[in-house]
Chains A and B, each alone.
Chain A
Amino acid sequence: NAGVTQTPKFQVLKTGQSMTLQCAQDMNHEYMSWYRQDPGMGLRLIHYSVGAGITDQGEVPNGYNVSRSTTEDFPLRLLSAAPSQTSVYFCASSYRRATGNTEAFFGQGTRLTVV
């Protein structure tokens, strides 16, 4: 099983450019989410989705868009890249249960630098 696949692993953007980070999972998980990780800040939730066609904002959604047209895919779009978006981005997925989400599986991460 591939699990959660993120592409690309590394990316350098110029300020103002746009790009899409790809995330795909093959475990039929309902819940998918995007996090950014900055030194000393832990993992901060950007956007999440509880199923195809449903997305919602997390803690730090500004400057990012998401869509969930299928169960498998959850791309993250940077509309106009800024240096403050330099970070490591992780995609994660899990099952949803009435008592909360089950264990989250993470992709390998995308290291993004905006110059």
Chain B
Amino acid sequence: GQQVMQIPQYQHVQEGEDFTTYCNSSTTLSNIQWYKQRPGGHPVFLIQLVKSGEVKKQKRLTFQFGEAKKNSSLHITATQTTDVGTYFCADTSYNTDKLIFGTGTRLQVFP
């Protein structure tokens, strides 16, 4: 079945350092979405990638979709304490109608 894995599971960084989380699928992804969940909160949508090789930026966040549409990454430049939370990727499969989430990467930023 559909499996979406994320690495690392957990990372802590010093404020100002960069951070990257990787999303890998056992099957070809339809579209990929990224969400952020603050501690104690609910997931909040960040962005959607649709095309093979697509790259999108939101201020310090850079999102990439792999050429083969089997992986994606989120890179944060110069982390801030406000970046703390868990980052999830999700596959929006138009074949199965399911929205399947990755296992998530929990980011801790120390000042």
Contact = CB atoms under 8 A, between A and B. Distances in A.
A50 B50 CA distance: 21
A42 B103 contact: yes
B98 A58 contact: yes
Interface in B9-68: 9, 30-31, 33, 35, 42-45, 48, 50
A92 interface: yes
Interface string A93-107: 010111111111111
Contacts of A98: 94
A100 B100 CA distance: 12
Interface string A58-96: 110000000000000000000000000000001010101
A56 B97 contact: yes
Interface residues of B, number: 26
Contacts, number: 68
Contacts of B73: none
A101 B50 contact: no
B85 interface: no
B99 interface: yes
B43 A106 contact: yes
Interface in A41-62: 41-45, 48, 50, 56, 58-59
Contacts of B6: 42
A100 B16 CA distance: 36
A101 B92 contact: yes
Given A42-B88, A99-B31, A100-B31, A35 B101 contact: yes
A106 B90 CA distance: 14
A102 B88 CA distance: 16
Given A31-B99, A102-B48, 19 more contacts: A31-B97, A33-B99, A42-B102, A43-B43, A43-B88, A45-B100, A48-B97, A56-B97, A90-B42, A94-B99, A99-B50, A100-B30, A100-B92, A100-B94, A103-B33, A103-B48, A104-B35, A105-B45, A106-B44
